[in-house]
Structure 1
């Protein structure tokens, strides 16, 4: 479990995925793998036509259609290789040594699940190449990826800048406490000021939880700032982020819903849709 895995496609986010993954790979001192998956539904592998022998003129037609599908698939594979070559050159220029490029034919979620054991961090764009122009839309497969993988997932937008500050949305849950532990131990965040923000009433219990998290990060050598804000989670987090120029938001992928195994937490979905900076989701 040591590689940074970056999903490469033809979307506007592809360059930012490369830049973000290169930054993470260098900070973590972890190998970088660039992955392109050719969707088997859009480009199916050539089928076996032996079952149509004897169907007369239909046999020729089906063989022609199969040949066209095979040609489309071959061209798509070549396009994917070109994307990977360009992505590899981009991360090499960023200073990554010996990045690996991999291409697979199949389902993205299944491919990522198969590679999960060796993945330390997944970097993926908010939208895929088939997404529309609405910037608040989430890529069709992103929620499935978040539900399936049990690794940190760094979601990027169309542009990436190295963050100079990080905000952890802290709610006292097991996930957010693990987030504190991860930040404290991960080279990814070394040298970056941390903002711990809780959206809650400012009670003695909530402040005690927040101060305990602050102390853990301070002991690990971080510069830490804490804040408690009352109100709706999504707008208050975004308001704080804008107010302080936060470059990276870290939060748990799920809330406390009993149906969280089926749906990405509603707050998480809204944050992904409306975020203007990279978003690191913890499982």
Structure 2
């Protein structure tokens, strides 16, 4: 059975990641897996400091470095276990989710996620990692994850509140039409009002594709609002979200339209950093 997988680390977003993952697990009735990855760069303290010292001293230094690596590895392992235990306690105490597994892996984060992709229904991550504690920048590996992991990814800022409504950044493309179908059918959004928002001109073509989206969502039992807004993609979408007090945004990744292009490079960073609510990325 496909799992909701929550990436756990020591960042300030950890509690919010756990809360949002538990929310998603409950609504999807899917098992929750708490994942902590010990990356190789963090596990090894060894550096080349042996260049111009004698053979005996070099051997002694290498032994000491090996001991230091082993100690650091054990500390990181123990720290990871503590993080996972705390996350599981939070899930069991603050949600109705009872099917919770804990996993710890060594290696690169992206490779670990790809190895688990076949059993992933939804991936939940913070918008910044342990090395970005002030929350002003997204995690350094997040763009790589967005490019390589082909499962829906729920990005969560430092606080999480259950969304009472959701909006889809829509452009009429095949990718965002799949987003409409997901919104219409997924229990993740069951009962939530849906706003479908386009950035562009109020053309007959745009109005027609919005009507299709409205009909599809209404058939799925949703209350639907549609809108076409002008301006640059990021500020226009967030302004609409703020004006309508919408608790979650959904968008597709990559392509050639204005909306999908912002998941590349600096616009990706701007969009995610500006998000005050969870952001669900569809692949």
Same fold (TM over 0.5): yes
Q: Which runs of 5+ in 2 are unaligned?
A: 47-53
Match of 2:117 in 1: 116
Q: Alpha-carbon deviation of 1:61? A: 1.0
Aligned residues: 273
Q: In the TM superposition, what are the counterparts of 1:66-105 in structure 2 within 5 Å? A: 66-93=66-93, 94-105=95-106
Q: In the TM superposition, what are the counterparts of 1:31-180 in structure 2 within 5 Å? A: 31-44=31-44, 55-93=55-93, 94-133=95-134, 135-180=135-180
Kept in 1: contact 2:238–2:275 (CA 8 A):
yes
Describe the superposition over 1:188-240 as per-residue Cα deviations: whole angstroms up to 9, x where unpaired.
Answer: 00010000001110010000001101100001111000011111111110110
Change (3 A) 1:233 1:153: same
Please give the secondary structure, in 2, of the residue aligned with 1:182.
helix
Q: Alpha-carbon deviation of 1:268? A: 3.6
Match of 2:264 in 1: 264
Match of 2:203 in 1: 203
What is the TM-score with the length of structure 1 in the denominator? 0.92
Match of 1:190 in 2: 190
CA distance in 1, matches of 2:99, 2:55: 53
- Structure 1's consecutive aligned runs of 4 or more residues displaced over 2 angstroms after TM superposition are 54-57, 263-270
RMSD between superposed Cα atoms in Å: 2.0
Q: Alpha-carbon deviation of 1:45? A: 9.4
What is the TM-score with the length of structure 2 in the denominator? 0.92
Moved more, 77-86 or 56-65: 56-65
Q: Does 1:273 align with 2:273?
A: yes
Q: Which runs of 5+ in 1 are unaligned?
A: 47-53
Q: Alpha-carbon deviation of 1:28? A: 0.1
Match of 2:15 in 1: 15
Q: Alpha-carbon deviation of 1:265? A: 6.0
